[in-house]
Amino acid sequence: MHRLFSTWLRYLAGKPCFRIYGKAKPEGAWRIIDVVATHRRNYSSRLPFWGGTCITWTNSVIAVGWDFAENVLAEQSRDPASREHPVEIPDGRLRFDRRSGPVTASEVLAHECGHTYQACRMGVFYWLVGGAFTLFGEGPHWYNRFENQASEIGQFGGIVNASVCQELMARLG
């Protein structure tokens, strides 16, 4: 089912803005994940629950805003992640009170890679569980487990070489 939905999403979204290497800590092999960008997910979007958000649609498709994609590319230009040195979330939480700095776009992408692993394991139930629990975010309660786990296990292994689309490159000047 994920393969069919991923194919449909790729058809609707067109070429991904870039592809990444992603996996979860329990996985042995890296997977290639398409990151698709839409203006509807930009920080300035007026759509409820869409503006400034990233969402894992399937085990191989993550949707982001163009502005977020620009931030990831800029971060990766300065300090590139690799499969040997992946980006992980410090202390396994995006929203940790004792963080030394703000959450980076690459850490958010690592969190989304954690969700792609959940989608691999849960199949179509991922959409039900994700839809029911993702709005609660991270925290100490049982209903935060879904988001907590994504942050604990997600690893972003960098952008796949030669996968950045021309539109994103042009936006960066």
Q: Per DSSP, which regions of the chain are E strands? A: 18-24, 31-38, 55-58, 61-65, 154-159
Give the pLDDT score at 54. 87
pLDDT of 173 reads 72
Give the C-alpha distances (Å, rounded to integers) separating 117 from 1, 86, 106.
15, 16, 17
Task: Give the model's pLDDT for residue 28.
Answer: 94
Q: Token digits for 81?
A: 């992640």
* pTM recorded for the entire structure: 0.89
- Give CA–CA dist 149/24, Å, rounded: 10
Residue 83's Cβ-count burial label (10 Å; 0-12, 13-18, 19+) is: middle
Structure tokens at 128: 């039900």
Looking at residue 40, what is its pLDDT? 83
pLDDT digits (tens, 9 = 90+) for 21-59: 999 999 999 999 999 999 888 888 777 777 778 889 889
Residue 93 φ/ψ, nearest 5 degrees: -140, 130
Does 146 score more than 80 pLDDT? yes
Distant-in-sequence, close-in-space partners of 132: CB < 8 Å, separation ≥ 6: none
Output the pLDDT for position 159: 98
State how far the alpha carbon of 84 is from the alpha carbons of 2, 26, 88, 158, 171, in Å.
28, 15, 12, 10, 29
| DSSP code for 102 | P
Write out pLDDT tens, residues 64-114.
Answer: 999 999 999 999 999 999 999 999 998 888 876 666 778 999 999 999 999
Range 133-149 average pLDDT = 86
